[in-house]
Each structure stands twice: as structure tokens, then as C-alpha cells.
Amino acid sequence: MAKELEKIYDPKQVEERIYQDWLDKKYFHAEVNPQKEPFTIVIPPPNITGQLHMGHALDNTIQDIIIRWKRMQGYETLWQPGTDHAAIATEVKIVKALAEQGIDKDTLGREGFMEHAWKWKEEYGGIIVSQLKKLGTSCDWDRERFTLDEGCSDAVLDVFVQYYEKGYIYKGAKMINWCPVCQTTISEAEVEHEEMQGHFWHIKYPIVGEDGFVEIATTRPETLLGDTAVAVHPDDERYAHLIGKNVVLPIVNREIPIIADTYVDKDFGTGCVKITPAHDPNDFEVGERHNLEKINVMHDDGTINEQGGKYAGMDRYDARKALVKDLDENDYLVKVEDHTHNVGLHDRCNTVVEPLIKSQWFLKMEELSKPAIEAYKSGDLKFVPERYGKVYMNWLENIHDWCISRQLWWGHRIPAYYCDDCGATTISKKHPTVCSHCQSNHIRQDEDSLDTWFSSALWPFSTLGWPEKTPELEYFYPTNVLVTGYDIIFFWVIRMVFSGLEFTGKLPFDTVVMHGLVRDSEGRKMSKSLGNGIDPLEVIESYGADALRLTLISGNAPGNDMRYYQERVEANRNFGNKLWNASRFIMMNLDDKKVEEPSVEALTPADRWILSKVNTLTKDVTDTLDKYDLGIAVSKLYDFVWEEFCDWYIEMVKPRLYNDDDSTKNSALWTLKTVLIDCLKLLHPFMPFITEEIFLTLQDEEPSIMISNWPVFKTKWHFEKEETDISMIKEAVRGIRNLRANMNVPPSKKAKVFVVSEDPAVVQTFEDGRVFFATLGYASEVLIQHHKIDIDEDAVSVIIPNATIYMPFSELVDIEKEIERLENEVIKLEKELARVSGKLNNQGFVAKAPEKVITEEREKQSKYEQMLTQTKERLESLKQ
């Protein structure tokens, strides 16, 4: 009894079973194998707090496509998985969970908190991994890593000590991003800029010794308390005479200088800018150039400190209101303008970030960035698409020292130890028992932890065992491709590049494939606030993982954002059903028959055509995958499977399948099975589940499609003549179908088809393809002629290169019935046109109806007029 596919493909019944089978058989697992060339991808480690969203789904689908393709090409493929401890995101969640139990973080203390944190991680940290498995990701889960595991932690401490000993790490007071709620520094990657409605407050700063004043405009009036200068452009003639003079800081009554600096845009606003070096990164730079005092007026929790005078103790926004009121009452406030501007928010708690000067640990970037720049300039590091190389270079050439410390407990604690007796600092990978300077045992470790990105910067080599010289590191490193979203190119990609070069002497990867964001159908970024997020797991539950994967890749060009449409998921589910039904049809006809590979001579032109087409498809798909243009690759596959294979070839061979006496039946069955297997293999990286289920049912030669051989171009399958001949027949059939459709002739109505051509080669082509016209062209009989003989004068025709196709009009249409139908159609259209025209001629309707409704009615009127004209012309033609 032949194996059969279920009548209907049900992803729920297939996907979990197949995935577990892959896991059981260790198909994802990679080993050091000198007999094979390695191919390695490291997963961008998702946060342990994370839930699978569309960005994850896209990112991991791209990686899975690449790794499955390379696995089938014969590489020893390692897709290294793991998760990130995500310091701030995780600590915020743990603190919230503790608070719900009535537990205070500070009361617990660091050790107590860390115990709870690890328990939380064990309970919730694996959720996203299980969700990634639902997507079909073929990571080597036996090698799963975590940025806080023992090996990765050892690498982090090793790197910190090495950087410090080389003079790259230092501690100093500089401008950083500060979150008043989480009370920690945060990286640029954790600041989301959101457009908000605010104000410009225009304020008078009286000039000392004169009656006049300068006018400044600010969006943050509370920072006025920390102003230490007013700046103007050195070339601004309006203020040249004031440079060097002082102004009085309103309300505070402190004198501050007027300075000249090119930072000021003299054409923007009043041309005068207040300078607050302790609360603005640009002002900080101005302050450094002019040796200005830096006055911090804010506590860590966002309240005003003692430098704020009467406003001390107030929240920053309460202080703003109070200060503006005082400015107004004391005649310092000129005006208030509405102003829309971008505001930096902490992405974890949605708090407005405050720029502050803090004593933090920094990594010097000037020297470290040079090899990373050279790697791109030399061509060793490539970006797909190439335009992101310019973004990479722009960031590196304008790089600042990296603030690597965070005021958190969950993370890698900074290995700095302070002596309470001599005040010296000891940097050590292991916890020292005494001060390395004075031998005192009164030492304590720095309370801060390292930025999460510090550990993930080491991900490509720390996950393979570095700093130990493991066989895996030797074999699988450098990795080959990094796949990531364009939004973290600066923060992660660059840090991995300079870290890899610094500690291994090698680039961590040679190619970076960038993808865009998944937006909603209106082009908006998916977010909780808009409520427009789509849960990938719900899509998988309804349509299956393959339909979602195909949707995320179809029409997706590298580096570009894509829009998510539910209709596309449904269309891709339908594509899967089309493939399933075609496979069922082929298997039912095979019915356990042992088909043998025929000789080339035994293949019909149609067989040679489809073999040649799938051969070209193999080359095209492989070439586009080599360029990481996955969207184009899957588009070629989709079109071939749906149109060339299912809609054309299968229909072409049906007469041969249904005729046991046809000597070419074996060739047809062999070709069907062979082409289907190649299609399944080419589709497998994109649609892993359905292709595996069909493949295992269709054949017994290979145990799994995912470890089968990737198709390659075969010279013996290149049939140029047959491709040309069948294209000609397809063009003729299309012409027949279009003509019949325009005449509303149903497929059940058969008609003679005359093919007329003076070209012997064309005649022979149609003789060989005669059988196709019965099923594809709805022909009752096919007559092929060198000249037009015995063809009715009223025959309708289709012209193709070097031939004309004729069909007798009387065989296509029952003229009496068609006249009757058209006369009824005229009556119906005249009624519709009168109804619409009546509305539009009604002044009351036109005056009250919305413009959209009126436009729709006018479009209907135009449509009915056109249809009526065409119908009357057709009717008149028939009557004649």
C-alpha cells in the first residue's frame, strides 16, 4: 500500500511532531568535523525577559533559511543559540515581581536579590527559546549559552582586566544618559526618541551694566538653575559687542558670561543659547572648550538638589512649573510657543532620560576603532545591503568613549576593588583578599555592573569557549554571517567587530546581513502604545509556521522595512495547500509504482521543458541565496511551483497519466516526482515543516529533507529548444483562454482550434504539443495547417509570433442566446446608470453627502457608462 498524505494539510498535526523528530535525531547538532567545511552563525541573543515578536520572527527566519540551506549544501553548520541576561529589563521585572510579594530590593541586599533573580531566570528565562522552536529554528540547542553562565562570565572578566591593563578602561566623570526611575546609566540603544508636544519658553537674561537683555528659548526651563554661560555664534554681528560681557541668570541672580562658540546656529531662534554643561551633552562639550563650571542641579531620582535654591526637593517637572510662574511674575518670561520635538525615553520604563555628569567606567574607543575601520575599507567586512557600510563607518569615525558601568545588581559585577585604607584600586579577575598596593584586607568591590552590551560584544567567541583554546573555537570561529536589524548596527555589530579583532586577531564574521523592521499594514512601527502588534504565535496557531515564515520573507529586500498584511499570510497558507494538493495528486498516480529514470530520448518536450526550467530555477535560487537576497529567491520559487509546475506541467501530463497504454507514462511519473523533490528541497529552508512531511511520504532514499543534498545545476537538463517551444505553446493557450474569457465562454464549451503557420519548425512544435490543447485550451479538435484552409470567415483569432490561432465563432457562442443575454444586460445597466445619475442630479444629495460618497457614486456612473457602451457594441456586432 502506497504511503499517502492526509487529504488536508494541518500544521498543528505536523509541526510539533516533525520538530521533535529533528531534535531526537540530533539533526541540528554540529561537531568539529575536519572532513567538512564549517559554516557558523551566532544568534543575536534574545533577552530572557522577551516574548517572541515579529522582529524576532523575521530575524530568526532569515537565519534559519541560511543555516538550513548551508546544511543541505554539505557544510558542518553551527547555529549557536543563547539568551542575554538583559540587565535593566530583567532587573525591572524582578523588582516588580518582588514588590508584588511585598519584598523590597534594598531590604533583601545584593546576595538575597541575586538568589531571587536566578530563580526568576530559571522559571521565566526559557520562554522565548520555546517560542523560537515553534517557528522551526534549527539552532544547536545542545550548545545553548547564557551571557551570565560561567564560561561567558569568565570571558567578560578576562576582557575587562586585559582592557584595563592596556590602558583602555578608566573611571571618570562624563556626560551620560540617566534614568531617574531605574536610577542607572543607560546606553544609546536603550533610549527611544519619541516625538512629543512641548513648548519653547522665551526668557530674558538681563545684561550686566546695561538696560538691555538677551533672549533665549529653551524646552527645559528647569535646567536654567545650572546655567553657566550664554553662547552666541562668533560671526553673529548682532551680538559681537556683547561677547565677554555678563548676564544675570533670572531668579537665581547669578552672573554668567556671554561666550562665542560655533556650536550656536545663528539662524535658529534668537541666536542666543543657554549653556548648562551638567545637563546637556552638547553644552558639556561647549563647557569643556571654555572651561565653564558644571553645576548639577538634580538628584538621581529627578528631584532638584540644594543647588536649586527655593526649588530644592521638587520633582523636575514641578520645579519647571514653579520656575516658569516665577519668571512670568518677575517679567522675565517673553512668550511661550508650542513646539514639537523628539524626547529621549528609557525603553524599559518610558521615563524621560536625563543627561547628567556621573563618575562612571569608560572604555576608550579611539584606538580600538581603527582596526574595525580598516576591516571595512579593505573589503574583509561586507554589509548586505552595502549602504549600511557607510552607516558603520560614520559611527566609527565619530565614536565616543563607551560608558560601560550600570547601577544594577543583575549583571557582571565590575572587578574593581577599593582599599579603604590607602584609597587605591585593584583590578582583578578573581576576588583579591588584600589590597595589591598596601596589603590591607579592608577592601570592597565596586557596586556597579557592566553594560549588557559588554558581554554580548564577545558573543561570537565567548560562546565557543574563549579564553580557552577549545576545538570548537579553532574550527567554528570566525563565524560566517551575522543577521541583525539595522537599528542595532552601532551598538552590537561594531562592538563585536572591535572586540573580535582585539582578542582573537580575527574578524568575528565576514558578512553582516541587515534587515528592516516589520511594520503594520499602514506602515507604522508595531508598539504596545498603538496596540498594533501582531503576536507571531497566534499567527502560527492559526496558519502554521511555514505560512508566517513565507510571509516574512516574500517581497522582503535586505535592509528594508516590510509591511505585515494578514491577507498575505492567508495567500501563503493557500500556497502551502497548493503544494500539498499537487503532491497528493502525484503520489496517487505513482501509487507505489517503481519509476525508472528514462533516457533523454524517452522524455517528451514537456518533460524536457519542466526539467530545464527547474534546472534554471536551481541555479537562480542558489545565486540569489549567495547574495542573501532571500525575498527574490522565494519569489522565483513561488512563481515556479504555482504556475510552471502546478498550473502548466501537471495539467499537460494528465492525459498521459490517465492512459495506461501511453509509452511515455513512466517518463511523466519520473519527471513529476523528480521535479517535485527538487522543488521541495529548494523550498525547505523557507517552509521546513510541510516540505519535510511531503518529502518523507514521497520517497525512501533519504531520511530527512533537512540533511538531503541541495539541488545543483545539471548540464544534461538544459533543454533550450524545448523551453522555447513550450513557451510558444503556453503563449497560444494563454491567448485562447483570454479570448474565451473576454467572450464569457465557459470552460465546458469546447471548440475546434486551428493552428496556421508557414514555418515548418512551428508546425512541428504544435504537432508535438497537440495533446495540450484538449485540456489546457478547451479544444474539441486541433487542426494544424501551413495555410488558412476551411476556416469560417467569422472565426476569432489569436496572433502569436510566426503563427495564428483560429476558433470558429459559432462553436464558441450560441448567437441567439448570447443576443438575449446581452439585451438583458443592457436593460440592467441602464437601470443602474439611471439610479446613480438620479442621485448625482439631486442637489440635496450632493450638498449633504460626504465627498467620499459622492466620489464613489461618480466612479460608479463612469463604470456603468463604459460597460453599457461596450455591451451595446458587442450586441450590435452579433446582430450584424
**Do 806 and 822 fall into the same domain?**
no
Burial 624-639 (b: 16+ CB within 10 A, else e): bbeebbbbbbbbbbbe
870 vs 107, residue with greater confidence: 107
Is 115 inside any structural domain? no
State which of 326, 355, 384 marks the end of a domain. 355
Is 300 inside any structural domain? yes
Minimal CA–CA distance to 630: which of 700, 671, 686? Answer: 686
Residue 570 pLDDT > 90, yes or no?
A: yes
CATH of the domain at 622: 1.10.730.10
**Do 685 and 825 fall into the same domain?**
no
CATH of the domain at 345: 3.90.740.10
**pLDDT reported for residue 744:** 82
Helix (H) or strand (E) holding 454: helix 452-456
Residue at 204: amino acid letter: K
Q: What's the number of domains the chain is made of?
A: 4
Is 274 inside any structural domain? yes
Confidence of residue 651 (pLDDT cuts 50, 70, 90): very high
Residue 238 pLDDT > 90, yes or no?
A: yes
How many other CB atoms sit within 10 Å of the CB of residue 439? 11
Q: Quote the CA–CA distance of 308 and 317 in Å, as a whole number.
A: 13
Residue 856 pLDDT > 90, yes or no?
A: no
**pLDDT reported for residue 626:** 97
Confidence of residue 741 (pLDDT cuts 50, 70, 90): confident
527 vs 424, residue with greater confidence: 424
Q: pLDDT, tens digit, for every residue of 673-706?
A: 999 999 999 999 999 999 999 999 999 999 999 9
Is 368 inside any structural domain? no
Is 442 inside any structural domain? no
Residue 67 pLDDT > 90, yes or no?
A: yes
**Do 789 and 827 fall into the same domain?**
no
Residue 466 pLDDT > 80, yes or no?
A: yes
Q: pLDDT, tens digit, for every residue of 355-369?
A: 999 999 999 999 999
**Do 627 and 750 fall into the same domain?**
no
448 vs 186, residue with greater confidence: 448
Q: pLDDT, tens digit, for every residue of 121-175?
A: 998 888 999 999 999 999 999 999 999 999 999 999 999 999 999 999 999 999 9
**pLDDT reported for residue 539:** 94
**Do 655 and 798 fall into the same domain?**
no
Q: pLDDT, tens digit, for every residue of 252-288?
A: 999 999 999 999 998 888 999 999 999 999 999 999 9
Q: Quote the CA–CA distance of 834 and 842 in Å, as a whole number.
A: 12
- The grid coordinates listed for 490 are 552601532
CATH of the domain at 855: 1.10.287
Place of cell 559554516: 39
Q: Quote the CA–CA distance of 496 and 828 in Å, as a whole number.
A: 71
Q: Please answer whether residues 348 and 50 qualify as being in contact, where contact means their C-beta atoms are separated by less than 8 angstroms.
A: no
**Do 223 and 327 fall into the same domain?**
yes
**pLDDT reported for residue 529:** 67
Q: Quote the CA–CA distance of 354 and 401 in Å, as a whole number.
A: 19
Query: What distance lies between CA 33 and its chain's CA centroid?
Result: 33
CA-CA-CA-CA torsion sign (368, 370, 371, 373): positive
State which of 355, 388, 422 marks the end of a domain. 355
Q: What range does the domain containing 309 cover?
A: 184-355
Q: Quote the CA–CA distance of 93 and 349 in Å, as a whole number.
A: 10
**Do 267 and 284 fall into the same domain?**
yes
DSSP single-letter state for residue 307: G
**Do 210 and 289 fall into the same domain?**
yes
Q: Please answer whether residues 231 and 259 qualify as being in contact, where contact means their C-beta atoms are separated by less than 8 angstroms.
A: yes
Cα torsion through 649, 653, 657, 663, rounded to 10? -130
Q: Any residues with CB less than 8 A from the CB of 112 and at least 6 apart, and which?
A: none
Q: Quote the CA–CA distance of 786 and 756 in Å, as a whole number.
A: 6
Q: pLDDT, tens digit, for every residue of 171-217?
A: 999 999 999 988 999 887 788 888 888 899 999 999 999 989 999 99
Is 162 inside any structural domain? no
**pLDDT reported for residue 199:** 92
Q: Quote the CA–CA distance of 149 and 84 in Å, as a whole number.
A: 10
**Do 650 and 580 fall into the same domain?**
yes
**pLDDT reported for residue 853:** 86
Q: Quote the CA–CA distance of 632 and 270 in Å, as a whole number.
A: 52
**pLDDT reported for residue 2:** 53
- The grid coordinates listed for 192 are 527611544
Burial 195-217 (b: 16+ CB within 10 A, else e): eeeebbbbbbbbbeeeeebbebb
Q: Please answer whether residues 396 and 407 qualify as being in contact, where contact means their C-beta atoms are separated by less than 8 angstroms.
A: no
Span of 187-196, 399-408, 595-604 with lowest mean pLDDT: 187-196
Helix (H, G, I), strand (E, B) or coil at 847: helix
Residue 398 pLDDT > 80, yes or no?
A: yes
**Strand residue runs (E) in 90-190:** 145-146, 169-179, 184-186
Confidence of residue 848 (pLDDT cuts 50, 70, 90): confident
**Do 635 and 753 fall into the same domain?**
no
**pLDDT reported for residue 487:** 78
Residue 872 pLDDT > 50, yes or no?
A: yes
CA 749, 752, 756 angle in degrees (round to 5)? 145
By percentage, how much of the chain surpasses pLDDT 90?
71
Q: Any residues with CB less than 8 A from the CB of 479 and at least 6 apart, and which?
A: 40, 41, 42, 80, 460, 508, 509
Q: Quote the CA–CA distance of 31 and 253 in Å, as a whole number.
A: 72
pLDDT, averaged across the chain: 92
Q: pLDDT, tens digit, for every residue of 306-318?
A: 999 999 999 999 9
CATH of the domain at 781: 3.30.2320
Residue 1 pLDDT > 50, yes or no?
A: no
Alpha helices in 477-604 (DSSP H): 494-504, 536-543, 545-553, 566-590
State which of 705, 739, 761 marks the end of a domain. 705
Instruction: State yes or no: 528 annotated in a binding site.
Output: yes
Q: What are the phi and psi torsion angles at 484 (to 5°)?
A: -160, 165
**Do 302 and 330 fall into the same domain?**
yes
Helix (H) or strand (E) holding 355: strand 354-363
Burial 719-749 (b: 16+ CB within 10 A, else e): beebbebbebbbebbebbbebbeeeebeeee
**Do 663 and 792 fall into the same domain?**
no
| Contacts made by residues 712-721, CB under 8 angstroms, sequence distance 24+ | 712/618, 712/622, 713/615, 713/616, 713/618, 713/619, 713/622, 714/615, 716/600, 717/611, 717/612, 717/614, 717/615, 718/612, 718/615, 718/616, 719/608, 719/609, 719/611, 719/612, 720/612
Minimal CA–CA distance to 547: which of 580, 520, 514? Answer: 580
For residues 521-548, average pLDDT: 87
Is 838 inside any structural domain? yes
Q: Quote the CA–CA distance of 736 and 679 in Å, as a whole number.
A: 29
What is the number of alpha carbons within 13 Å of residue 243 lying toward its C-beta? 15
Give the relative orientation of helices 127-135 and 545-553 as an angle to the nearest 10 degrees. Answer: 80
Span of 290-294, 406-410, 521-525, 708-712 with lowest mean pLDDT: 521-525
Q: Please answer whether residues 472 and 465 qualify as being in contact, where contact means their C-beta atoms are separated by less than 8 angstroms.
A: yes
Q: pLDDT, tens digit, for every residue of 743-774?
A: 888 888 888 989 999 899 999 998 888 888 87
Confidence of residue 418 (pLDDT cuts 50, 70, 90): very high
CA–CA distance from 739 to each of 164, 777, 813 (Å)?
79, 11, 12
Is 475 inside any structural domain? no
